[in-house]
Amino acid sequence: MKKYAFGPLILAVILFLVFLFIPNAWIGDLISNKKVAKDATSLSPLMFQGDYIQSRMLADKKYFPIYGSSELSRFDPFHPSNYFEANQEGFTPFLYGRGGTQSLVQFMNFAAHSNQLKGKKLVFIISPQWFHKKGIDNVHFDPNYSMLQAYDLAFNHSIDPRLKRKAIHRLLKFDVVKRDYMLTSVFRSEIGRHGKFRLDNEIIRPFAYMNWKLLQKKDLYFSLYGGYNHKRYKDPKIVKGKSWGELEQIASQYGKQRAKGNPYDVSYSFYKKKIIPTAAKMKNYNRHATYAKSVEYNDFQMVLDLLKEKGAKPIFISLPVNGRWYDYTGFPKNGREVYYKKICKQVRASGFPIVDLSGHEYDPYFLKDTMHIAWKGWVYVDQAMEQHWKATQTEPQVD
C-alpha cells in the first residue's frame, strides 16, 4: 500500500500563511535606508514595478528622482548619479526608467504615488523616439507593465475621476491588461461599462481587492532583496569642483576620445557594431517619418495633468536626436522641429519649466549613439538639475 507524506505539504502551507499574515510594517522595518540608497542606481524592474521602495524614496527629502527611459543606463563620469556624488549639492539622484518606460508607464507610477507628489522636485526626461504615430506598443509596454500599479489605479480615489477614466480607457487597449479578468472587471465598473456583467463586477471586486493586497505583500518581499550593481564608470577627479564651462570642454574631450573620429560623433563601439552593418539599408529609410503626430502626446498630457493636480514641482528636459544620423536616414527635419516646438508648448501650457536641448542635434559628443544622451549632454542635465533644486520658480537657462 502506497504511503503519502503530507508533512512537506502541510509545512509549505503553514509557511505560506506565516509569510502572508506577517504585518506589512514588520517587513518594512527589515528594509534599511541603505537598501533604498542602493536602489537609487539599480534600475531594477522589481523597483520600477513596485511601490514600497519608491514610497520610501519620495518620503525622504534628500532624493531628487529622475524619470526617463533607457538613457538613464548610459553611465559615464558626467551622469547625474556620478556627478552629484562627486559634487554634493544636498541631494541624491534616484533613477526611474529603462527602455519602454514611456508616458503611460510613468503615469501609472505617478498615480500609485500621487499622495506623495505635492511639492516634490523631480526631473522628467522626454525622448523623441516615444512619439511614433501609435505611441507605445505591446513590445515596450508589456515588460514595463506593473500589475500592482494597475490595481493601485483601480482602487485610487484620490485623483481626478475624469483623468482616471481616461487612463483606464487607454490601458484597456493592451492585451496584458485585458487578460486580467478581475482587473478589467473593476476597470469597466470604474468607467461605467457594466453592461450585462454588473452583477459579476460586484462579486469580483472583493476578490480583486484581495489580489491587490497580495500584490502589495509580494512587493514588500521583493523589496528586501538587493538590486543590480551597474558599472557606473565613476571618475570623481574628472568632474569634481569644475565650472560648467570646464565640464563641457572636458566632456567634449572625453567623448572625442571614445568616438575616434567617426562621422556621427558617437561611441566608436556603437558605430562599429550598429551603424556600419546597417548603414546601406538605412540610407533615406525614414524619409516619410515624423514625430509630429502621435498617441503619445495624449499619454504625456495625462502625466502633466496628474503632476499639476498633485502639486509636484517637475522640470522637463527635452532631448535631441543625432541630427547627422537622422539626416542620413532621411528623417525630415521638419518632422523633428515640429515635435520639439510642440512638446515645449505642451509642457509650458501646463505651467511647468522645460529645458529644450533640441538645439544640440548637431553638437559633437552630446549623444552616445543615435538617440541616447551622454558625455557633454549630461553636463547640461546636471546644470539644469542643480538650478531647479536651488530655485524652482524660473526656467533654468542652460542652452
Q: What is the tens place of the pLDDT at every residue in 239-272?
A: 999 999 999 999 999 999 999 999 999 999 999 9
Q: Which three cell numbers stand for residue 345?
A: 508648448
Least confident residue range of 7-11, 55-59, 125-129, 252-256:
7-11
Instruction: Residue 111: name the closest of 71, 65, 152, 139 by CA.
Output: 152
With cut-offs at 50, 70 and 90, classify the pLDDT of residue 27.
Answer: confident
Q: What is the pLDDT of residue 271?
A: 97
- The amino acid present at 337, given as its one-letter code, is E
For the four alpha carbons of 374, 76, 122 and 159, in that order, the dihedral sign comes to: positive
What distances in angstroms separate CA 54 from CA 110, 219, 316, one per listed residue? Answer: 10, 11, 20
Helix (H, G, I), strand (E, B) or coil at 163: helix
Contact 129, 369 (CB under 8 A): no
Lowest mean pLDDT among 2-16, 22-36, 134-148, 366-380: 2-16
Dihedral class, residue 243 (left if φ above 0, else alpha if ψ from -120 to 50, else beta): beta
Average pLDDT value for residue range 58-62: 96
Among the listed residues 220, 154, 157, the one whose alpha carbon sits nearest the alpha carbon of residue 189? 154
Average pLDDT over residues 34-51: 93
pLDDT in the model for residue 10:
59
Q: What average pLDDT does range 217-238 have in this prediction?
A: 87
Residues of the chain by 3-state class (helix, strand, coil), percent to 5? 55, 5, 35
Q: In what order do the strands lie in the sheet with 354-356?
A: 92-96, 63-67, 121-126, 313-318, 354-356
How many Å apart are CA 36 and CA 227, to the nearest integer?
10
Q: How confident is the model at residue 22 (pLDDT cuts 50, 70, 90)?
A: low
Specify the pTM: 0.91
Whether the pLDDT of residue 371 is over 90: the answer is yes
190 versus 143: which is more confidently predicted?
143
Mean pLDDT of 380-387: 97
The CA angle 260-261-263, to the nearest 5 degrees, is 130
Q: What is the CB neighbour count within 10 angstroms for residue 161?
A: 10
Q: What per-residue confidence (pLDDT) applies to 393? A: 46
The distance of Cα 112 from the centroid of its chain, to the nearest Å, equals 14
d(CA 290, CA 284): 13
Confidence class for position 377, pLDDT limits 50, 70, 90:
very high
CB-based contacts of 208, cutoff 8 Å, min separation 6: 151, 154, 182, 183, 185, 186
Judge residue 337's burial from the number of C-beta atoms within 10 Å of its C-beta, 0-12 exposed, 13-18 middle, 19 or more buried: middle
Alpha-carbon dihedral 111, 113, 118, 122, rounded to 10 degrees: -90
Tens digit of each residue's pLDDT (9 = 90 or more) over 175-207: 999 999 999 999 998 887 655 556 567 788 999
Q: From the CB of residue 269, how many other CB atoms can be counted at a distance below 10 Å?
A: 13
215-244: buried (b, 16+ CB within 10 Å) or exposed (e) per residue? bbbebbebbeeebeeeeeebeeebbeebee
Average pLDDT, the chain: 91
Higher pLDDT, 228 or 373: 373
| Cβ 97 vs Cβ 72: under 8 Å | yes
Q: Taking residues 157-163, report their average pLDDT.
A: 96
Q: CB of 128 within 8 A of CB of 319?
A: yes
Average pLDDT over residues 160-175: 97
pLDDT digits (tens, 9 = 90+) for 69-122: 999 999 999 999 999 999 999 999 999 999 999 999 999 999 999 999 999 999
Name which residue leads in pLDDT, 235 or 30: 235
Does 1 score more than 90 pLDDT? no
> Residue 66 pLDDT more than 90?
yes
Give the per-residue pLDDT at 308.
98
Q: How confident is the model at residue 15, as a pLDDT? A: 46
- 2-26 mean pLDDT: 57
Q: Exposed, middle or buried: residue 343 (CB in 10 Å: 0-12, 13-18, 19+)?
A: buried
